[in-house]
């Protein structure tokens, strides 16, 4: 018989208050050395969150997702000089996982495969270090990967139940509300000089040739990446708007959807615009709205485009310039010429180092060496590949690309397995949620054609969640739910399970 958190032979209250005393002491010590009200409030909130994690480690995952997606700890450190709150919080979550496992005999299931995949990918990245000329850059990237790998394993160990998957989903949507509300307000009020405590960064950048404009970038600092990370949230918000039974949660999801879409527009990112169209199209394909509803959505889309800034529409029109026949001189647009140079440089790096690449995080170090022979990019600075796949090919070679493909294949199989299991149980809402996560990853991977892996944690967060969903479908704590004849969900006819991929 499995033990629970309420075992009589464990002095749970002593453990709770002992942990509270330690955390309080650390918090008071830190507060005494700072005069920033924001930091004080953050530390006070952190103490409460830590106590909640001690009581229930699943709350730790909820908070871990939120502070990771909003870069909360990074913002406090970079803009307010506060110590990292992420690392000690991560340590606390790990300790509580071990307590639940070793003391209360609640062993997490189904995480071993994910851990093995991450370790194998880590070995490939380690092998690429052999070719790294700038070993310090490679070492920094390897250290970041180790931290992200730990997060992936933590997600697999905690994300075991359907209720936790719902919590994780709403944690992501709350992150979208937090970031999107700030940046939407910032753009509509044109208050770009205010960085909103570091969560509303913006800077003047090129929109089209000869035209510059402020582009919002949230806590990221780059509008293109900010748009990419908001796209991930759109399918999840659409799912919750459709399937959520509680009205206030449905309104919360609608709020997240609106501010995320508006913020994506205000980034002026062409790749994000294409990604947004793709994920909305995939969600419509799954839900198959009635003709009247589809017509209404089209009208709303047209109205939204008409209400969008004119400079945004002009920027979107430049997308056609990369299509053969529309523009024979790609270098006329500075960003297009730079991207063409970066793609060709990646190819030449791969050609020279086909097996293991030039080394992890070493593309930038070699860029000018190759670029000056091409003559496409007048900029004399280190540049990134601006494509996840070209970056992997250039830095880790064929071995790295095959290893990354294995990760994608594993995610696809996980989503297909989970979708089939949810459908077998008659749980159309969770089957839809699995599909929504698949669309989120599809949106991320699509926009990664134009963006490199500058912020890998977002990919690994999504990877960890997706890999854990099959275990959620086998939730041993939840009763099996059979479809209710005549209900709205029973009448719904989604695509076949194979369409979840």
| 372-427 pLDDT per residue, tens | 777 666 667 778 888 999 999 999 999 999 999 999 999 999 999 999 999 999 99
The SS3 call for residue 411 is helix
> Residues 221-254: pLDDT tens digits?
999 999 999 999 999 999 999 999 999 999 999 9
Task: Report the distance separating Cα 52 and Cα 48, nearest Å.
Answer: 6
CA 343 to chain centre: 24
Residue 85 has what DSSP assignment?
A: S
Contacts 24+ apart (CB under 8 A), 19-22: 19/50, 19/51, 19/54, 20/47, 20/51, 20/54
pLDDT for the residue numbered 358: 95
Pairing outcome for strands 201-208 and 211-218? antiparallel
Which residues of the chain are under the pLDDT cut of 50?
1-35, 324-332, 480-501
| Domain spans of the chain, in order of start | 1-107, 111-158+335-501, 191-328
Identify the CA nearest to 102 among candidates 1, 18, 3: 3
Residue 159's closest CA among 500, 474, 423, 439?
474
pLDDT digits (tens, 9 = 90+) for 344-364: 989 999 999 999 999 999 999
The pLDDT of residue 375 is 65
Eight-state DSSP code of residue 264: H
């Amino acid at each position: 018989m499995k033990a629970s958190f309420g075992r009589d032979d464990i002095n749970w209250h002593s453990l709770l208050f002992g942990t509270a005393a330690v955390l309080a002491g650390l918090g008071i010590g830190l507060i005494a050395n700072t005069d920033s009200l924001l930091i004080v409030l953050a530390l006070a909130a952190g103490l409460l969150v830590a106590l909640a994690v001690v009581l229930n480690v699943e709350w730790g995952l909820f908070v871990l997702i939120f502070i990771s997606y909003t870069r909360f700890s990074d913002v406090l450190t970079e803009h307010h000089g506060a110590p990292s709150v992420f690392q000690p919080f991560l340590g606390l979550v790990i300790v509580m996982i071990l307590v639940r496992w070793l003391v209360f005999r609640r062993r997490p299931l189904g995480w071993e495969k994910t851990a093995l995949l991450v370790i194998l990918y880590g070995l490939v990245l380690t092998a690429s270090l052999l070719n790294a000329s700038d070993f310090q850059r490679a070492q920094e990237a390897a250290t970041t990967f180790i931290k992200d790998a730990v997060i992936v394993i933590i997600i697999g160990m905690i994300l075991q139940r359907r209720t936790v998957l719902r919590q994780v989903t709403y944690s992501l949507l709350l992150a979208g509300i937090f970031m999107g509300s700030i940046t939407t307000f910032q753009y509509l009020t044109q208050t770009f000089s205010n960085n909103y405590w570091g969560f509303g960064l913006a800077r003047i950048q090129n929109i089209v040739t000869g035209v510059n404009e402020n582009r919002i970038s949230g806590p990221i600092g780059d509008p293109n990446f900010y748009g990419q990370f908001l796209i991930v949230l759109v399918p999840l918000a659409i799912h919750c708007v459709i399937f959520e039974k509680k009205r206030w949660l449905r309104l919360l999801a609608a709020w997240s959807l609106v501010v995320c879409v508006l913020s994506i527009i205000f980034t002026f990112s062409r790749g994000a615009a294409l990604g947004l169209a793709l994920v909305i199209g995939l969600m419509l394909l799954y839900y198959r709205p009635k003709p009247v509803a589809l017509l209404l959505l089209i009208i709303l889309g047209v109205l939204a485009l008409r209400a969008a800034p004119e400079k945004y529409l002009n920027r979107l029109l430049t997308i056609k310039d990369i299509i053969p026949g529309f523009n024979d001189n790609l270098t006329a647009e500075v960003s297009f010429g730079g991207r063409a140079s970066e793609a060709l440089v990646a190819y030449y790096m791969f050609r020279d180092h086909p097996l293991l690449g030039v080394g992890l995080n070493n593309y930038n170090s070699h860029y000018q060496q190759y670029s000056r022979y091409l003559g496409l990019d007048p900029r004399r600075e280190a540049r990134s590949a601006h494509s996840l796949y070209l970056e992997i090919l250039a830095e880790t070679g064929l071995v790295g690309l095959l290893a990354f493909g294995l990760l994608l294949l594993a995610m696809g199989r996980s989503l297909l397995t989970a979708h089939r299991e949810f459908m077998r149980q008659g749980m159309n809402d969770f089957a839809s949620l699995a599909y929504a996560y698949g669309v989120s990853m599809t949106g991320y991977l699509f926009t990664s054609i134009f963006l490199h892996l500058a912020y890998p944690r977002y990919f690994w967060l999504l990877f960890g969640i997706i890999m854990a969903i099959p275990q959620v479908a086998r939730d041993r704590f939840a009763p099996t739910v059979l479809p209710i004849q005549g209900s709205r969900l029973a009448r719904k006819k989604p695509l076949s399970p194979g369409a979840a991929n």
